[in-house]
Chains A and B, each alone.
Chain A
């Protein structure tokens, strides 16, 4: 069965205020499709990505998010991850003292269901205890090192602390690596291209292209058109003032690149006023 993420008339506010940031978003992403979501700064793109992943700072006030027909609104972020969602962060946080390999082994073990099983008596975890069973170290290590080579991530990163002291490009590569290890069905990539020089941009887009395929749906959120020189989206959506205002094919991205966002603002800023 092809997985699909359906966002239905989604309204979202910031938890500590009345301010509505998303004002009725409609979007459907299926496995195997690449969607680009483009919009000016401050239009609510990042809020959409956080809301999909269940960030506690945002409250859904209306509409729904469905994964394979089931609402995920009540699920914790980790439960969403286990159902096959992945969020590549615009600004991945550095977590002091947590090594990438250690963290990723636990994450992969959860997502792949190892931790649901009691630990075998000869394994790494506490014998018979559910939750302490992790993916066998040898298997994990081999897969991690293979993926690091495939995605041009230096092997030393495994032992380094998560994102600590990573350059902007290294952080983005590390996000792609984690995505490759976690094998999501639907990935939301929030401004994965922001702050990257051309070389780093190429590494990231190569990674996205390698991962794209029938098993993965991608929502690529971006302000600039330039990553679309390297990644071919099937669909392009223009995001403005808290919702998708226009959808189309790749040609829409080129129109935005040549004409900027002013025409969107002219056309849909007006409409918003009329609607109010």
Chain B
């Protein structure tokens, strides 16, 4: 068949691309079937018109997915960090980790996992390798009952063209001290479909840092998904940083499923992209779960960042605590919409949701739409949202003590984020967040 000999670049983001991708990777039929099914969903689901509630504030004007091509995803895997491009090496050196996986333009460039963790049965690899070596694991967990293939148009596209990303499996009772670290780098003109799959078995503990960076200033397209399974008593810390250049389109669907007494500390930060549309959902499926969801965003220029969160309480005696903070510069725009849903049987739920926005320039705009949907009667749910400007009296006070306006603003903005920064569980990540904030304050 001609389709199979077509290069990915020739094929593009279409049915031929789906076939070519699967052929190039010599994937098993069951995975190709999943791709084909996803592609059908992608074709069936209508392109957002702007009338839908979730697309009312985020328009896709200027996006044509045919402007982007699939990466050929070939090239050598490095085992020595020194062989990585400087920008990736610097990223990697900033955080001490027990294992790392660097994917550049759809291909694994660097992979390392401590032999101690390997011996304990920890699996940390890219998706292609996992499909080949651990098909039962992927068949069981990959886009089955967590993130749905047909969740929305971009998730379907993701499933059809998925490449790269990481699979992290932590066996029962294995507790990993140092974080594992994944970096996804994408160059201009390319489409990226990285997938993160984390399975933390009973009473295991793991921290995963998931970073996205651009290779250069060219526009790219990312449609990703993150699936987290926290089994009974597991503790998962998932720290996500989206730091694309400001020309890149970013779509992401992320979902965590939590079993009895599981704990998730989830942090997401959005600095880059031209436009982001991010859906985050935690599902508390069994009693005793605790989920924390922290968010940072800081658009500038003409960036548009849209976050939607869902704290989905499906079982009793669970707690969830959400704090999202954003600052805005230039003519940028942010949308935060959040929902706490409490099902009828989820008594004794304790859920909290707070979104605060600091608008630094006149032409920037932040929308905040908190929401509650409560069907149980013995619950405690609180939410709050604020949109404010820099308090002139703060500025005067600090300047009266000798701080320049820039120093004073920087201190006020950093202070604004301090409440979230203090709760970030990894020191190295916190330092990077502080640097990102300082960089964005300049504009």
Q: Residues on A close to B: CB < 8 A?
A: 53-57, 76-78, 80-82, 87, 89, 92-93, 95-98, 102-104, 106-108, 110-111, 161, 178, 182
Q: Is the CB of A53 within 8 A of B400?
A: yes
Q: Is the CB of A182 within 8 A of B401?
A: yes
Main secondary structure of the interface of B (DSSP, over half): helix
Given contacts A98-B412, A106-B411, contact A93 B405 (CB under 8 A): no
How distant is the Cα of A103 from the Cα of B418 in the complex, in angstroms? Answer: 14
B290 to chain A, nearest CB (A): 25
Q: Is the CB of A95 within 8 A of B412?
A: yes
Q: Which of B107-115, B117-125, B157-165, B391-399 contacts A (4 or more CB under 8 A)?
A: B391-399
Q: Is the CB of B407 within 8 A of A110?
A: yes
List 7 tightest A-B contacts by C-beta distance, closest first: A97-B415, A97-B418, A81-B402, A98-B415, A77-B399, A110-B402, A107-B401
How distant is the Cα of A53 from the Cα of B407 in the complex, in angstroms? Answer: 18
Given contacts A103-B411, A106-B411, contact A97 B416 (CB under 8 A): yes
User: Does residue B72 face the partner (Cβ distance < 8 Å to A)?
Assistant: no
Q: Which residue of A lies closest to B414 (CB)?
A: A97
User: Does residue B404 face the partner (Cβ distance < 8 Å to A)?
Assistant: yes
Q: Which residue of A lies closest to B411 (CB)?
A: A98
- B153-184 at interface with A (beta carbon < 8 Å): none
Q: Which residue of A lies closest to B396 (CB)?
A: A55
User: Does residue B403 face the partner (Cβ distance < 8 Å to A)?
Assistant: yes
Q: Which residue of B lies closest to A50 (CB)?
A: B396
Q: Is the CB of B403 within 8 A of A107?
A: yes
How distant is the Cα of A55 from the Cα of B416 in the complex, in angstroms? Answer: 23
- B391-443 at interface with A (beta carbon < 8 Å): 391-394, 396-405, 407-408, 411-412, 414-419
Q: Is the CB of A56 within 8 A of B392?
A: yes
Given contacts A93-B393, A96-B418, contact A81 B412 (CB under 8 A): no
B356 to chain A, nearest CB (A): 10
Q: Is the CB of B402 within 8 A of A76?
A: no
Contacts of B411 in A (CB 8 A): 95, 98, 102-103, 106
- B352-405 at interface with A (beta carbon < 8 Å): 391-394, 396-405
Q: Is the CB of A78 within 8 A of B402?
A: yes
Contacts of A107 in B (CB 8 A): 398, 401-403
Contacts of B408 in A (CB 8 A): 78
How distant is the Cα of A95 from the Cα of B393 in the complex, in angstroms? Answer: 9
Contacts of A81 in B (CB 8 A): 399-402
Q: Is the CB of A76 within 8 A of B405?
A: yes
How distant is the Cα of A237 from the Cα of B411 in the complex, in angstroms? Answer: 38
How distant is the Cα of A78 from the Cα of B397 in the complex, in angstroms? Answer: 10
Contact of A76 among B393, B399, B414, B416 (CB under 8 A): B399
Given contacts A76-B399, A81-B402, contact A95 B415 (CB under 8 A): yes
How distant is the Cα of A92 from the Cα of B399 in the complex, in angstroms? Answer: 13
Which has the most chain A C-beta neighbours within 10 Å: B393, B402, B404, B417?
B402
Contacts of A57 in B (CB 8 A): 392
Q: Is the CB of B396 within 8 A of A56?
A: yes
B390 to chain A, nearest CB (A): 10
Q: Is the CB of A78 within 8 A of B405?
A: yes
Contacts of B403 in A (CB 8 A): 78, 103, 106-107, 110
Contacts of A87 in B (CB 8 A): 400
